[in-house]
Amino acid sequence: MSQFSLNEDQLAVRDMARDFAADRIAPHALKWDEEKFFPVDVMREAAALGMGGIYIREDVGGSGLKRFDAALIFEALARGCPTVSAFISIHNMASWMIDAYGNDEQRKKWLPRLCTMELLASYCLTEPGSGSDAAALRTRAAVDGDHYVLNGQKQFISGAGQSGLYVVMVRTGEDGPRGISTLVIEGDTPGLSFGANERKMGWNAQPTRAVIFDNARVPVANRLGDEGAGFKIAMAGLDGGRINIAACSLGGAQSALDKSLAYMRERKAFGKRLDEFQALQFRLADMATELEAARTFVWRAAAALDRHDVDATMLCAMAKRFGTDVGFEVANQALQLHGGYGYLSEYGIEKIVRDLRVHQILEGTNEIMRLIVARKLIEGNR
């Protein structure tokens, strides 16, 4: 890849995802949001095109693409619906953790069905008492023969109750990050249950529930990597997840900008089209410029992660913070440009604003992104 342009393969991947979003997602997005409908069949259609295991290795049915390709795909899908794109991103993140850290038996057992999205995967780190302070999690797994016995609760879990697999961070040892391990837990495990579907500001086209463990027995063979490696595995998953959610913000914001341009060509005030007012032209120019700057940053971070650069984690945090902040602000400005119509659901702008707001919170809040960047900067100057 040249630094500032896409090659033919990348353009083809992006256009494939963009066409799918336009044909199969965008026409239904408002209805799915209103009815809180989780479009599993449509996501499986996306998986048939290779989007269920984008950067999963090919020997288990994955597409074997790069993080850069994934950023293009998630931005394109989010033009149709940020909520659907974001869940496919989470599914890919959880699946990648199995691909990267699982043994051959684990990979062959679960990944072929994850890549087709016959099985959906959820990522389970956050708890009622530990969000940003993830290393303080309390869900405990105690060894009993060849099983772990789990007790505890995860909170704000996307896909909970619908997913077939849960990649769960649990405490198997001492307090702090070194006492955390990662288990893959199947959805029909006795002792596993779910809370009510949360009533949310946005992201209504995917369920969000608590995941509850009450003496749930999980085979020790379902552990990814060694005991105590779970926090490292969780953070590695989040590096890519942060790029993905930033890309989802860009796609949603681009859709909002496109809607604004179309609206301003038609709407008149004081005898002129809205797009003839210089003040509004300047606002459009700023929105487009901010989006392009964020897109370039996301691409840089994705390329750094593909190369395993030493500063990849910091760049992913930077890109997540900048991309999600810009995405929300552009969508919010688009709502303002629509005036009162932007506040009506039928125009689709207010949904984008609602959906993108949570991107500044999940995958690590943007305050935590600043903390990650600051720590890296300070460590580098010692």
How far CA 184 is from CA of 45, 164, 194, in Å, comes to 25, 10, 16
Cα diameter, the chain: 79
Q: Give residue 3's pLDDT.
A: 60
Q: What share of the chain is helix, strand, coil (3-state, %, to 5)?
A: 60, 15, 25
**What pLDDT was estimated at residue 382?**
63
Q: Which residues are catalytic?
A: 363
Residue by residue, pLDDT tens for the chain (382 residues) are 456 789 999 999 999 999 999 999 999 999 999 999 999 999 999 999 999 999 999 999 999 999 999 999 999 999 999 999 999 999 999 999 999 999 999 999 999 999 999 999 999 999 999 888 889 999 999 999 999 999 999 999 999 999 999 999 999 999 999 999 999 999 999 999 999 999 999 999 999 999 999 999 999 999 999 999 999 999 999 999 999 999 999 999 999 999 999 999 999 999 999 999 999 999 999 999 999 999 999 999 999 999 999 999 999 999 999 999 999 999 999 999 999 999 999 999 999 999 999 999 999 999 999 999 999 999 876 6
Whether 217 and 151 have beta carbons less than 8 Å apart is answered as: no
Whole-structure pTM value = 0.96
Collapsed DSSP state (helix, strand, coil) of residue 17: helix
Torsion of CA 6, 7, 12, 13, to 10 degrees: -60
Cβ burial 331-357 (10 Å sphere, 16+ → b, else e): bbbbbebbeeebeeeebbbbbbbbbbb
The Cα–Cα gap between 282 and 233 comes to: 45
pLDDT score for 5: 84
